[in-house]
Amino acid sequence: MIEMDRGRIGIVALAVLLLAGCGQETKITRVDSGVVTDLSGRWNDTDSRIVAESMVKEALEYPWLNNFSGANHRQPVVVVGTIQNNSHEHINVDTFVADLERELTNSQKVTFVAGKGDREELRTERKEQAMYAREDTQKAPGKEIGADYMMKGTIATILDEAEGTKAVFYQIDLQMVDLESNAKVWFGQKKIKKVVEKKRSIF
């Protein structure tokens, strides 16, 4: 009898040990992409979205677009140049540049042409078409649209940290440069500041 009791207690104890901690190993919740999720304090999707939104707004608001359309009776053609990462993080700039391109293209006010990296791929494709594709479907070289403006930019951070508290300041600058005259026709700027506090000890 005692033996049986002991065995039962052993099994219960084992079960408790095994179950403890199984409950919350991985938990997944779907959230809207607009929800702010600040986990580590580093550059995240929210930052990228905020930057894209404010840049699109600025780019469409300012008169450079209308000035150009008024003078030339067509949409300006823009190519994306280098967005220099001068920050402390390995930031993927493609996400907000893509957001920006999408918004400006869909607004029907700007035409984007492929940037440097994409162009190589497209040209290779055309060369291969010239060799392998049916003649009436071949795309001829020398018909690319030359861009009027180049969009360039930088992301910089300023960090300050002491005693577990870190202040991170991001400054994102974008500029539209006239490819003929090198004149800068538009400046977009967004600043983000975060304070990350880490506790020295927890229980």
Which residues contribute to the site for another protein (CB under 8 A)?
Answer: 40, 84-90, 157, 159, 161-162, 164, 198-203
Tell me whether residue 170 or residue 186 sits nearer to another protein (CB atom).
170
Q: Which is nearer to another protein, 33 or 40 (CB)?
A: 40
Residue number, 72 or 86, with CB nearest to another protein: 86
Shortest CB 196 distance to another protein, Å:
10
Residues 162/196, Cβ–Cβ less than 8 Å: no
Six token digits for residue 67: 């000035």
Report the candidate in 140, 170, 165 with the shortest Cα–Cα distance to residue 155: 170
Q: Report the nearest approach of another protein to the CB of residue 150 (Å).
A: 18
Q: Which is nearer to another protein, 34 or 117 (CB)?
A: 117
Which residue reads 């030359």 in tokens?
Answer: 146
Taking the complex as a whole, how short is the minimal distance between the CB of residue 163 and another protein, in angstroms?
8
In 3D space, the residue among 49, 71, 76, 46 whose CA is nearest the CA of residue 60 turns out to be: 76
Q: Give the HSE-up count for residue 90: Cα atoms under 13 Å, Cβ half-sphere.
A: 0
